[in-house]
Amino acid sequence: MRCGWAALPLLLGACASVPPAPERPASVVPPDPQPYRLQVGDVLDIKLQLNPELNDEVVIRPDGRISTVLAEGVRAAGRTPEELAADLRQVYGQELRDPRLAVVVKSFMPTRVYVAGEVASPGEFQTMGPDLTLAQAVARAGGLRVSADAEDILILRRGADDRPLVFRADYRRATTGTDPAADIRLAPYDVVFVPRSHVSEAYVWFNQHFQQFLPVTWGFSYNVNPVVNNTTH
């Protein structure tokens, strides 16, 4: 495996380059978060100020669209509430003179990511708020096993037109302070796959093809000290 006592000086050297934490964190103004984008399962309130009788509550369907009393099959998933409201105003404008319309997110669907492979507790993990980072997702999964390859983690993601994409990430660089930027932020429904290290793969291969077929050898060692009777009759 890649970890061991031989790697201890390297880890200590990496830790030495990381600045110590301050006694009291300074007050930092957080950056403006990215606008929230709607996702499947969100519950929306469609409110019309001048036509409250047309107010509606809808759920974003699995195909990412919604239907209201005056709009059918409008794409919602992946858009901000403001973008969706602008689209609905255009549609409602065909029936109403001044559709003062707002989209309010009544209930948010939790973000899901999946962690598999050489982790303690693989599975699906849900979160509300900002998407998890790589280190946070691995922590949710109980951390890496000793057989894991921490430097070559794969991230599977669905891109445009549902095309599968694969990215590589270096968990070790992110968690040793060598490259904090390696702790990337995951996208909803990402699959984090932690492979075995090359040494672990070699051991599994050896065990499957050779070790289990080798005969069992039992070894015993005896130290026999015979008693010599020198008595003369």
- Residue 35, amino acid: P
Are 50 and 134 contained in the same domain? no
Residues 148 and 189 in one domain: yes
| Residue 102 confidence (pLDDT) above 90 | yes
For 125-173, give the DSSP string: EEESSSPPBHHHHHHHTT-B-TTB-TTSEEEEEE-GGG-EEEEEE-HHH
Residue 74 lies in a domain: yes
114 and 199 in a single domain? The answer is: yes
Residue 224 lies in a domain: no
- In-domain check, residue 136: yes
Q: Tens digits of per-residue pLDDT, 114-166?
A: 999 999 999 999 988 788 999 999 999 999 999 999 998 999 998 877 788 99
Q: What is the CATH number of the domain that holds 172?
A: 3.10.560.10
How many angstroms separate the CA atoms of 144 and 122, rounded? 10
192-219 pLDDT per residue, tens: 999 998 766 665 655 665 655 555 554 5
Name the domain count of the chain: 2
Q: Answer whether residue 228 is part of any domain.
A: no
Q: Are residues 120 and 177 in the same domain?
A: yes
In this prediction, residue 202 carries a pLDDT of: 64
**186 domain residue, yes or no:** yes
Domain boundary among 60, 78, 107: 107
Q: Output the pLDDT for position 199.
A: 65
Same domain for 114 and 200, yes or no, is yes
Asked whether residue 102 falls in the same domain as residue 114, the answer is: no
Q: Which DSSP helix (H) or strand (E) runs through 192?
A: strand 191-194
Same domain flag for 103 and 129: no
- Mean pLDDT, rounded, of the chain: 82
CATH code, 52: 3.30.1950.10
Q: Are 157 and 83 found together in one domain?
A: no
pLDDT top residue among 70 and 217: 70
162 and 93 within one domain:
no
Q: Is 184 within the bounds of a domain?
A: yes
In a domain, 4, yes or no: no
Looking at residue 65, the DSSP 8-state letter turns out to be: E
Same domain, 96 and 114: no
Check whether residue 98 and residue 116 sit in a common domain. no
Is 122 within the bounds of a domain? yes
Residues 121 and 80 in one domain: no
The whole model's pTM is what? 0.65
| Residue after which a domain boundary falls, among 107, 142, 163 | 107
Best CA proximity match to 141, nearest among 178, 173, 113: 113
Query: What is the domain range of residue 81?
Result: 43-107
Residues 6+ apart with CB under 8 A from 80: 35, 36, 37, 38
